[in-house]
A = this chain, B = another copy of it.
Amino acid sequence: MGTIEGVLLTPLKIIEGSSGNVWHGLKNDESSFAGFGEAYFSGVLQHAVKGWKRHRVMILNIVVPVGVIHFVLFDGRENSISYGQFQEIILSQQNYQRLTVPPGVWMAFKGMDDQNLLLNIASIKHDPSEAENLPLVNEFIHYKPFLV
C-alpha cells in the first residue's frame, strides 16, 4: 500500500460562517486543475461499492461534501513506477481533501455513512468509449476489503 504516481491529495479550505460554512472545491489556477469538461455528483449507498473503473483520458478531481467514502485505487499503468500498487483514501468533511486521479488508474469506492456523495470535476465530458469497467472480483484486482 503506497502512493500511486500522479495521484494527488490536496487539503481544501473550509471557511466557517455563522449561517453556514463555505467549502472550497477547485480553482482554475491550481496545479491539479486539468480543464473543465463536466461536473457531476455520484451517490453511493451505505455498504455499496461502485467500481472498478478506469479512464483513458479523463482526469478526475473528487471532493466529498456529504458522508464518508472509502476509495481504493490500483495503478494499472505498465509504464508507471507504482504499477500494480494499491492506494487507499477515506474522504469526508472531517478529512476534507481533493483527490486527483490520472488516466489509467483503476478506482472503486464504498459508502461508509448513511448518505455519501462525491463531486467529480472532470477534465472532459462523460464519454463511455474512454472508460473501462471491471467487476469487483476479477483476475488481476483482488482487493479484500471490497470482496463482500
Chain B residues with Cβ below 8 Å from A66 are: 65-66, 117
Chain B residues with Cβ below 8 Å from A7 are: none
Does B20 lie within 8 Å of A42, measured CB to CB?
yes
Task: Select from chain B the residue with minimum beta-carbon distance to A27.
Answer: B38
Q: Is A107 an interface residue (CB 8 A)?
A: no
Q: Which of B37, B50, B65 contacts A28 (CB 8 A)?
A: B37
Q: Kindly report how many copies of this chain are found in the complex they form together.
A: 2
**Residues A39 and B65 in contact in the complex (CB < 8 Å), given A50-B19, A116-B20:** no
Q: How far is the CA of A23 from the CA of B111 in the complex (A)?
A: 16
**Residues A65 and B41 in contact in the complex (CB < 8 Å), given A29-B125, A36-B36, A125-B29:** yes
